[in-house]
Amino acid sequence: MSEQVKKPIKITETILRDAHQSLIATRMPTEFMLPILEKMDKVGYHSVECWGGATFDASLRFLKEDPWDRLRKIRDGFKNTKLQMLFRGQNILGYRPYADDVVEYFVQKSISNGIDIIRIFDCLNDLRNLQAAVDATNKFKVQEGRGHAQIALSYTLGDAYTLEYWTDMAKKIEEMGADSICIKDMAGLLVPYKATELITAMKSATKLPIQLHTHYTSGVASMTYLKAVEAGVDVIDTAMSPFALGTSQPATEVMVETFKGTEYDTGFDQNLLAEIADYFRPYRDECLANGLLNPKVMGVDIKTLLYQVPGGMLSNMVSQLKEQNAEDKYYDVLKEIPQVRKDLGEPPLVTPSSQIVGTQAVFNVLMGERYKMATKETKAVLRGEYGQTVKPMSQEVIDKVIPGEERITCRYADLLDNELDKLEGEMKEWKQQDEDVLSYALFPQVATDFFKYRQAQQEKVDMTQADTKNGAYPV
Ligand SMILES: [Mn+2]
């Protein structure tokens, strides 16, 4: 009897990052995560994704938590499992391009605080915007004894995005010194048989391991994973069932069961996975009850195949429109998005291009006239500051929004002076750890508000102690 050749599919668990980002606007607090880490550490995951732009932002802004402290606590909880983060290329975890010194320092601090795998992407797939982060990862890999640079290509549809485009990119990524490639399908646009073609072509173009990341938004994701795995993909991203499906990822337990007994068998223990799911399920129920989890993002939205809107953007848009009592404009905005995207050179829709296109679409709809008002980010895209788009941008829109302004074609960061010292100078009164300057760099106002909050908390504690000593008990 011939021995079956084993090629277990590797799994990255997303429940601590993308799953709750896509379903509940990234509101899962650290304290809720910690008790389950020990069990998650026993599963055998290839990695656990736990950090990224939205988790960083929401920690500071809404949860009043230090994101660096979250990372260190999660690192403590995972003794054996690799931790993974998402990194927006030259935009780091923020919404604007940074100078190289900030990019390098952020990579260093991410690795030294516990990250193993850095998934680096650019919202325009402009590889020039990824080189600094890849180089920094390779540099600190040696220094910290940990670090893996994964370049993620933002998957999208459009005339320019042919198989040749993707295989050409794969070759370039290998030349750049990355350790692996991810196809990052933010909106669930990759359908099963296209996945066979894409993964087959990419596997023949590069020796690097290939990981596939998709979302359930359009309802095809599990089938896409099945075809991708058969075509030789190395790693897939899944989420534990209580925070799977809808705008999140396919369910971990379902994919594990799918490949059981085949050459792709993960070997994961379903009983252990069930215990982990039991831990998260009551929190899902709580989120449904308090409205944080909106049933609108949980079903199949086949219209995403037309509008190409990623899950995180959808759930943000729903809550933004809700806040402005403009929920009835939901489908108008969705319809405006492809037009704005075309005007801006047909970029993929992923943070920050998704936010830029989404916000501009909201403006266009609410103002009743296209580009009557343009955000400063829309202007920056049109000036070429975010990088090169695969298609030319609309000259008409350029003339309307930035008439007579100079546009650039070089790597934008080449025009930026180092900025760490300046940033440090601006925030030094609040600094309690080296990492604070990076929090400030990414979100100056939000981080400052957090620093003030942190200090107030600390002083309150000190005051209580002092007052107790003096026998005074102020109300
Ligand atoms: Mn995602």
* pLDDT, tens digit (0-9, with 9 covering 90-100), for 388-428: 999 999 999 999 999 999 999 999 999 999 999 999 999 99
Distance from residue 404's CA to the centre of ligand 1 (Å): 37
Question: How many CB atoms are closer than 10 A to CB 458?
Answer: 11
Residue 366's pLDDT is what?
A: 86
Per-residue confidence at 447, pLDDT binned at 50, 70, 90?
Answer: very high
Distance from residue 421's CA to the centre of ligand 1 (Å): 33
Average pLDDT over residues 356-367: 90
Q: In this structure, what token pair is assigned to residue 238?
A: 């899944």
Residue 470's pLDDT is what?
A: 43
pLDDT tens string 293-310: 999 889 888 777 777 776
Distance from residue 247's CA to the centre of ligand 1 (Å): 9
Distance from residue 17's CA to the centre of ligand 1 (Å): 9
Distance from residue 255's CA to the centre of ligand 1 (Å): 17
**Which residues have CB atoms below 5 A from the ion given as ligand 1?**
18
Residue 96's pLDDT is what?
A: 84
Average pLDDT over residues 336-349: 94
Q: Mean pLDDT check: name the lowest of 55-59, 291-295, 363-367.
A: 363-367
Distance from residue 153's CA to the centre of ligand 1 (Å): 12
Distances (CA, A) of 298 to 224, 294, 307, 325, 449: 19, 7, 17, 21, 33
Percent of the residues in the chain that have a pLDDT greater than 70, as a whole number = 95
Distance from residue 319's CA to the centre of ligand 1 (Å): 18
Q: In this structure, what token pair is assigned to residue 40?
A: 């998650």
pLDDT at 146 > cutoff 60: yes
Per-residue confidence at 440, pLDDT binned at 50, 70, 90?
Answer: very high
Buried residues in 262-282 as b, exposed as e (16+ CB within 10 A): eebbbebeeeebeebbebbee
Is the distance from CB of 339 to CB of 397 less than 8 angstroms?
A: no
What whole-number distance in Å separates Cα of residue 120 and Cα of residue 399? 33
Name residue, tokens 């005051």: 463
Residue 323's pLDDT is what?
A: 80
pLDDT, the chain, mean:
93
Distance from residue 215's CA to the centre of ligand 1 (Å): 6
Residue among 87, 132, 154 nearest 353 (CA): 154
